[in-house]
């Protein structure tokens, strides 16, 4: 493995009823709170009332930024930044899934920056400060609850870009599996695919001799594979929801990334698809990832053989490495299909029209990925495999 630094200061507060800790957790950061949330499902479930009661218990003055989109938009983030400035906000509280958390991170870093927050996503500026941020998570998916990363969509330019900073780690994240009981099947599926994809981006690497990171990654995949189907069979299965939620956090909190050169090409490609078509991130990843695997596996076939054997229990007896690796990739696709994820761009209504533009955008700063460095033609080939 390579050298690395790991510093993850987020306090994880996990378990049924932990929202009751919220007031106590927010209190040290001040009383002027910006509450960030999505489409209102937290009002239907009663979570909104619980959160407000907690904030009232510490005498907080609450301003709101509702309506965060599934692919959170730059315009919305800017609205939040304006509220922070106008209302002298002390603390940002995100209540929702990954999109809400990512938008809140955008607000947190943007509120402490004089320029355009979009600058951070195009390497025009470096994040040097942020408002403190806490989260109450309602969806097992992005891992945003325990890292400093966020993805924002610029709807005007049809671009979807990420930023990351040590300043954007949540101070705390409350993870109550019961809050995910009401997540509908399609979003549960997207979450499962998202978590598995995060692991893939870090597991398929050419960095040698990192057995612990590999086994940790396989542990997350096996846990998600087993518990994903359980959660889909019974949305109120506490154990399944809890295991998914914890797996999602560990998929992207640094644990499996320590000292590993990661890839992230599939995410970059998916971002270009969903920047234009506004499809769910998990759906896009389900379509693209197995095709990325097929396109690149020969660059490091032993990793794909190990994946097939350890994660999908492929029997290697009498098979060539090529056959074993492909069986693992097929098993991945079969699992995605079994849980109801789309397999082709056609399944989500995307045709070949913009493939060239997507490939162009994905590689605008140069080749992407590390397992195999992908240029524009490679990206286009993967997109064509996905039609």
DSSP secondary structure string for all residues of 208-223:
---HHHHHHHHHHHHH
* DSSP designation for 10: P
Q: How far is the CB of 275 from its own copies (least distance, A)?
A: 33
The greatest distance separating any two alpha carbons of the chain, rounded to the nearest whole angstrom, comes to 68
**Cα–Cα dist 339/332, whole Å:** 11
Q: How far is the CB of 75 from its own copies (least distance, A)?
A: 35
The residue within the footprint of its own copies, chosen from 135, 165, 202, 255 (CB under 8 A), is: 255
Q: How far is the CB of 278 from its own copies (least distance, A)?
A: 32
User: Smaller CB distance to its own copies: residue 214 or 263?
Assistant: 214
Contact characters 121-160, its own copies, x per CB under 8 A: ----------------------------------------
The residue within the footprint of its own copies, chosen from 149, 154, 182, 219 (CB under 8 A), is: 219
The residue within the footprint of its own copies, chosen from 204, 250, 307, 371 (CB under 8 A), is: 250
User: Smaller CB distance to its own copies: residue 212 or 346?
Assistant: 212
The residue within the footprint of its own copies, chosen from 59, 86, 114, 208 (CB under 8 A), is: 208
Q: How far is the CB of 244 from its own copies (least distance, A)?
A: 10
**Would you give the end-to-end CA distance of the chain in angstroms?**
37
Contact characters 227-246, its own copies, x per CB under 8 A: x-----------x--xx--x
**Lookup: tokens for 367:** 């080749």
Helix (H) or strand (E) holding 312: helix 301-312
Considering the rule CB under 8 A, would residue 223 count as an interface residue with its own copies?
yes
CA distances from 226 to 50, 185, 241, 331 (A): 32, 16, 11, 14
Contact characters 2-31, its own copies, x per CB under 8 A: xxxxxxxxxxxxxxxxx-------------
Q: Which residues pair with 333 in a beta bridge?
A: none
The residue within the footprint of its own copies, chosen from 216, 264, 304, 307 (CB under 8 A), is: 216
Q: How far is the CB of 209 from its own copies (least distance, A)?
A: 4
**CA-based nearest residue to 190, from 237, 148, 142:** 142
User: Smaller CB distance to its own copies: residue 15 or 40?
Assistant: 15
User: Smaller CB distance to its own copies: residue 73 or 198?
Assistant: 198
Q: Which residues pair with 11 in a beta bridge?
A: 172
* CB half-sphere exposure, 102, CA atoms < 13 A: 25
Could you tell me how many residues of this chain bind its own copies (CB under 8 A)? 41
- 136 with 52: CB under 8 angstroms? no
- 11 with 172: CB under 8 angstroms? yes
Q: How far is the CB of 376 from its own copies (least distance, A)?
A: 34
Considering the rule CB under 8 A, would residue 276 count as an interface residue with its own copies?
no
Q: How far does CA 275 lie from the centroid of its chain? A: 15
Considering the rule CB under 8 A, would residue 317 count as an interface residue with its own copies?
no
The residue within the footprint of its own copies, chosen from 126, 212, 352, 387 (CB under 8 A), is: 212
Q: How far is the CB of 359 from its own copies (least distance, A)?
A: 36
DSSP secondary structure string for all residues of 233-276:
H-TT-HHHHHHHHHHHHHTTSSTTTTT-----HHHHHHHHHHHH
Cite the DSSP H helix spans in 8-112: 22-26, 41-44, 47-57, 74-87, 98-110
User: Smaller CB distance to its own copies: residue 219 or 367?
Assistant: 219
**Cα–Cα dist 214/117, whole Å:** 35
Contact positions vs its own copies (CB under 8 A): 1-18, 208-212, 215-216, 218-220, 222-223, 226-227, 239, 242-243, 246-247, 250, 255, 258-259
């Amino acid at each position: 493995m390579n050298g690395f630094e790991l510093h993850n200061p987020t306090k994880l507060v996990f378990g049924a009823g932990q929202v009751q800790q919220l007031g106590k957790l927010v209190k040290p950061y001040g009383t002027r709170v910006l509450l960030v949330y999505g489409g209102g499902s937290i009002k239907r479930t009663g979570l909104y009332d619980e959160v407000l009661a907690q904030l009232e218990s510490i005498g907080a003055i609450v301003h709101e930024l509702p309506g965060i989109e599934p692919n959170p938009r730059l315009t919305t983030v800017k609205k939040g930044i304006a509220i922070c400035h106008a209302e002298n906000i002390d603390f940002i509280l995100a209540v929702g899934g990954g999109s809400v958390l990512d938008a809140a991170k955008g607000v947190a870093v943007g509120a402490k920056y004089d320029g355009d927050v979009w600058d951070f996503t195009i390497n025009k500026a470096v994040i040097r400060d942020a408002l403190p941020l806490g989260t109450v998570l309602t969806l097992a998916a992005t891992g945003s609850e325990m890292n400093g990363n966020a993805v924002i969509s610029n709807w005007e330019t049809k671009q979807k870009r990420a930023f990351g900073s040590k300043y954007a780690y949540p101070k705390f994240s409350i993870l109550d599996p019961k809050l995910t009981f009401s997540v509908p099947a399609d979003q549960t599926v997207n979450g499962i695919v998202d978590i598995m994809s995060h692991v893939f981006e870090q597991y398929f690497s050419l960095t040698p001799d990192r057995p612990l990171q590999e086994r940790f990654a396989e542990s997350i995949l096996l846990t998600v594979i087993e518990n994903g189907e359980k959660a889909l069979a019974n949305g109120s299965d506490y154990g399944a929801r809890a295991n998914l939620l914890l797996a999602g956090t560990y998929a992207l909190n640094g644990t499996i990334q320590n000292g590993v050169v990661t890839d992230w090409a599939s995410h970059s490609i998916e971002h270009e698809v969903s920047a234009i078509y506004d499809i769910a991130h998990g759906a896009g990843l389900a379509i693209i990832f197995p095709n990325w695997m097929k396109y690149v596996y020969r660059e490091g076939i032993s990793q794909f053989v190990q994946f097939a054997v350890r994660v999908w229990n492929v029997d290697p007896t009498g098979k060539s490495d090529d056959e074993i690796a492909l069986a693992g990739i097929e098993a991945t696709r079969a699992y995605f299909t079994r849980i109801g994820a789309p397999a082709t761009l056609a399944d989500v209504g995307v045709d070949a029209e913009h493939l060239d533009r997507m490939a162009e955008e994905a590689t605008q700063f140069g080749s992407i990925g590390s397992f195999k460095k992908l240029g524009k033609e490679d990206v286009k080939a993967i997109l064509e495999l996905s039609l």
